[in-house]
């Protein structure tokens, strides 16, 4: 992954009160964005009715139909409907669920979505099974980053845990056929998710996880934020005052002039850089790519082009003239953010986009210089590095951060703070940054991001305008003291039944339906991210086991192939008496574009070279995988021959939750196109 920085700052003219949109038209400044509405647990219970439905939204002069999660407390619901009024929320920008360790999250999910749109390529492709399963637009919910049970409903308990193989259809719309490893229902899905009593505090999120429709459903807006515990569980202001918080849910959506949404998101929709004298304040103009967009990207189903070039299933070579690609904050286009007051403000940021990557910069409007900010957490983990170690790893891409700089400001903590001027956030990434007040107004923007020679060029855009603080603002600034979050849930040596029972969840552990063998001492699993030889326009994962001498174990290699839910790619037992077990995985990206690794029901330590084990000593749930450049063609063979040189990423994963779940690249088009695999963790006895 490399970051490209624009050189157009001298051509940009920004007024503090008057803005210019993508067509050069003067518009009024937008109001501050509303904070996401919040549902908070009470007496360790949050019981919600959740309805996935279409909703007409307003974005500038456009009014597309997006998809939203309408929510209300089950106590006020009326026959599977939420009442009108202040007890019901359904914003495109997203809802926040505030939970605490030991809570019980209940969600009754009802699907009232329209059929899958015509541009959902996996719902209208060449695979009859996928067409049948996806045409009616099934939906489910995944609680991203939470270490909770992936429990499947059965005769003894008809409720579901965080289980992605259940598909909820609109009433009367069950498909004629479904994969034997998936469960289809047109009845409400009742989720019962138990937050362990020692679950780490932090910022997480929820979104659908239907294979083949991820990019479409997330692009349309189906997502929200989850916060566990309190910020004060891992951070504090030196003077002991309260920590002001502000939420930034970043969502992007492509809308044509007729208000039609392009939810098979195309990174070539806009030019990578803004046009001269036309500022991209919250949106960029669509362009005509039907004659070739310069990236050699074939439409779906075509063979790889004769000359080397990217393969993007979602790139259609369409004419997007008249369309706008909106980049919203809490559902609002280019909002005005009040100046941080006092000693600073904590910004809790979620990249809820389906595919795009952000390179966030806070730029001083007067000097045009990037303003430093303190990174407090990444992907749900407080950034509290051990003294003398690299805070975000040697390859900065592995922790989604870039351009660390010396921190300026007062701190009373014993752990050195981490500051930066850029923050690279892949899809699904979360970050918390401490922003000091400034005497000048500023712009929160994303630079253009190139994910590699075979990857995407995510366009540059301004996201929000930040008001100026008082003249003495800089003198008031301080830094937060950040402490590591206890990971007690993963270090709990009690038997599994005791651990589950203590969270008030079901007491029966998942038993093995097949024989799983523990990874031998000193061995690790090697996961390849690349291109299947059978389909050069798809994505996939490969696998092999590696011994203590770094030699592949004979008979374990599986070449890169697209996702097959019936294939258990990794199966492992828990430790003696069903205690957590830890494995090391080596992640190898053999393609010429960056990917990002995410695994459900677990978090992992990133082991950067030349640094103390543990990326900042904390458990993450996302990590970006750098690409090896144009020499890499997505095949393992070229990597073995030494002609694809790429830095691998090693992660140490403590597994504690039994059940069936997945690991995958969290870039929407990559995941839908097959870069995902099935993992099973079983009870040892």
Q: What is the pLDDT of residues 398-422, one digit of tens each?
A: 334 457 888 887 777 778 888 999 9
Q: Please write the tens of the pLDDT for every residue from 594-643.
A: 999 999 999 998 886 544 343 445 788 988 998 889 999 999 999 999 99
- Predicted pLDDT at 386: 55
- pLDDT band (50, 70, 90) for residue 30: low
Question: Is there a domain that residue 574 lies in?
Answer: yes
- pLDDT band (50, 70, 90) for residue 684: confident
Pair 579, 656 in one domain:
yes
Among 191, 211, 229, the domain boundary falls at: 229
3-state secondary structure of 396: helix
Question: Is there a domain that residue 491 lies in?
Answer: no
- Predicted pLDDT at 111: 98
Pair 21, 88 in one domain:
no
Classify 206 in phi/psi space as left (phi over 0), alpha (psi -120 to 50) or beta: beta
**Nearest residue to 263 (alpha-carbon basis) of 175, 330, 331, 353:** 353
Q: Please write the tens of the pLDDT for every residue from 533-566.
A: 888 889 999 999 999 999 999 999 999 999 999 9
Pair 505, 477 in one domain:
no
Question: Is there a domain that residue 281 lies in?
Answer: yes
Among 196, 214, 229, the domain boundary falls at: 229
Highest mean pLDDT among 248-257, 370-379, 383-392: 248-257
Mean pLDDT of 222-233: 97
The distance of Cα 499 from the centroid of its chain, to the nearest Å, equals 28
Among 229, 254, 270, the domain boundary falls at: 229
As for how many domains the chain has, the answer is: 3
Q: Which residues partner with 253 through β-bridges?
A: 326
Question: Is there a domain that residue 447 lies in?
Answer: yes
Pair 83, 111 in one domain:
yes
Q: Please write the tens of the pLDDT for every residue from 589-603.
A: 999 999 999 999 999
**Nearest residue to 465 (alpha-carbon basis) of 441, 485, 437, 488:** 441
Which domain, by its residues, includes 224? 38-229
Burial 500-517, CB ≥16 within 10 A → b, else e:
beebbbbeebbeeeeebe
Question: Is there a domain that residue 241 lies in?
Answer: yes
Pair 223, 271 in one domain:
no
Residue 496 is encoded by which pair of tokens? 């599994």
Q: Do the bridges between strand 345-351 and strand 381-382 make them parallel or antiparallel, or are there none, so unpaired?
A: unpaired
CA 604/CA 650 separation, integer angstroms: 10
- Predicted pLDDT at 292: 57
pTM metric for this prediction: 0.90
Instruction: List, in order, residues 6 or more apart from 240 with CB less than 8 Å away.
Output: none
Pair 304, 451 in one domain:
yes
Pair 242, 225 in one domain:
no
Pair 401, 252 in one domain:
yes
Question: Is there a domain that residue 472 lies in?
Answer: yes
Question: Is there a domain that residue 488 lies in?
Answer: no
CA 349/CA 420 separation, integer angstroms: 15
Pair 179, 223 in one domain:
yes
Question: Is there a domain that residue 322 lies in?
Answer: yes
- Predicted pLDDT at 22: 35
Q: Would you say residue 304 has pLDDT above 50?
A: no
C-alpha distances in Å from residue 78, one per residue of 52, 73, 83: 16, 10, 7
Mean pLDDT of 175-204: 94
Pair 502, 387 in one domain:
no
Pair 211, 261 in one domain:
no
Pair 18, 61 in one domain:
no
- Predicted pLDDT at 4: 31
The distance of Cα 329 from the centroid of its chain, to the nearest Å, equals 16
- Predicted pLDDT at 146: 96
- pLDDT band (50, 70, 90) for residue 318: confident
CATH number at residue 404: 2.60.40.420
């Amino acid at each position: 992954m490399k970051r490209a920085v624009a050189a157009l700052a001298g051509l940009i003219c920004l007024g503090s009160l008057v803005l210019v949109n993508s067509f050069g038209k003067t518009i009024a400044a937008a109001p501050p964005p509303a904070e996401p509405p919040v549902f908070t647990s009470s007496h360790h219970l949050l019981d919600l009715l959740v309805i996935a439905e279409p909703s007409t939204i307003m974005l500038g002069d456009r009014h597309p139909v997006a998809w939203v999660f309408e929510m209300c407390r089950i106590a006020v619901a009326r026959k599977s409907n939420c009442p009108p009024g202040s007890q019901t929320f359904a914003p495109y920008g997203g809802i926040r669920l505030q939970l605490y360790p030991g809570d019980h999250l209940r969600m009754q999910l009802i699907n009232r979505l329209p059929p899958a749109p015509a541009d959902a390529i996996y719902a209208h492709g060449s695979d009859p099974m996928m067409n049948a399963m996806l045409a009616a637009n099934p939906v489910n919910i995944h609680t991203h980053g939470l270490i909770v049970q992936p429990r499947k409903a059965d005769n003894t308990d008809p409720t579901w845990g965080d289980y992605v193989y259940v598909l909820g259809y609109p009433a009367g719309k069950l498909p004629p056929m479904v994969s034997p490893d998936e469960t289809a229902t047109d009845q409400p899905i009742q989720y019962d998710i138990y937050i362990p009593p020692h679950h780490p505090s932090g910022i997480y999120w929820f979104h659908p996880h239907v294979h083949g429709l991820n990019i479409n459903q997330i692009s349309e807006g189906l997502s929200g934020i989850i916060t566990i515990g309190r910020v004060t569980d891992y951070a504090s202001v030196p003077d002991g005052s309260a920590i002001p918080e502000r939420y930034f849910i970043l969502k992007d959506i492509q809308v044509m002039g007729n208000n039609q949404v392009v939810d098979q998101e195309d990174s070539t929709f806009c030019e990578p850089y803004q046009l001269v004298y036309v500022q991209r304040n919250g949106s960029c103009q669509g362009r005509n790519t039907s004659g070739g967009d310069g990236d050699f990207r074939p439409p779906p189903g075509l063979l790889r082009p004769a000359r080397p070039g990217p393969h993007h299933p979602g790139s259609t070579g369409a004419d997007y003239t008249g369309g706008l690609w909106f980049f919203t904050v809490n559902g609002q286009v280019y909002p005005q953010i009040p100046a941080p007051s006092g000693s600073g403000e904590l910004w809790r940021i979620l990249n809820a986009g389906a595919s795009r990557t952000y390179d966030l910069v806070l730029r001083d409007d007067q000097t045009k210089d990037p303003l430093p900010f303190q990174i407090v957490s990444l992907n749900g983990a407080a950034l509290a590095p051990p003294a003398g170690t690299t805070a975000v790893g040697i390859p900065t891409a592995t922790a989604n951060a870039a351009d660390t700089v010396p921190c300026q400001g007062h701190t009373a903590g014993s752990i050195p703070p981490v500051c930066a001027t850029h923050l690279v956030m892949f899809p699904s990434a979360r970050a918390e940054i401490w922003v000091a007040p400034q005497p000048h107004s500023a712009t929160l923007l994303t630079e253009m991001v190139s994910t590699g020679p075979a990857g995407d060029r995510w366009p540059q855009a301004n996201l929000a305008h930040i008001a100026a603080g008082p003249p003495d603002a800089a003198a008031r600034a301080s830094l937060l003291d950040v402490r590591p979050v206890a990971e007690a849930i993963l270090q709990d040596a009690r038997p599994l039944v005791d651990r589950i029972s203590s969270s008030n969840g079901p007491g029966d552990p998942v038993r093995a339906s097949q024989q799983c063998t523990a990874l031998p001492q000193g061995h690790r699993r090697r996961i390849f991210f690349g291109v299947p030889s059978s389909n050069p326009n798809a994505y996939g994962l490969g696998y092999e086991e590696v011994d203590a001498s770094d030699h592949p174990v004979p008979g374990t290699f599986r070449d890169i192939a697209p996702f097959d839910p019936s294939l258990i790619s990794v199966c492992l037992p828990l430790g003696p008496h069903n205690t957590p077990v830890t494995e090391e995985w080596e992640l190898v990206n053999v393609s010429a574009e960056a990917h990002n690794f995410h695994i459900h029901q677990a978090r992992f330590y990133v082991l950067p070279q030349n640094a103390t084990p543990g990326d900042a000593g904390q458990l993450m749930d996302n990590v970006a995988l750098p690409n090896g450049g144009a020499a890499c063609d997505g095949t393992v063979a070229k990597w073995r021959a030494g002609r694809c040189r790429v830095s691998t990423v090693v992660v140490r994963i403590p597994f504690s939750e039994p059940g069936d779940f997945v690991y995958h690249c969290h870039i929407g088009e990559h995941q839908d196109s097959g870069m995902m695999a099935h993992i099973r963790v079983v009870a040892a006895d």
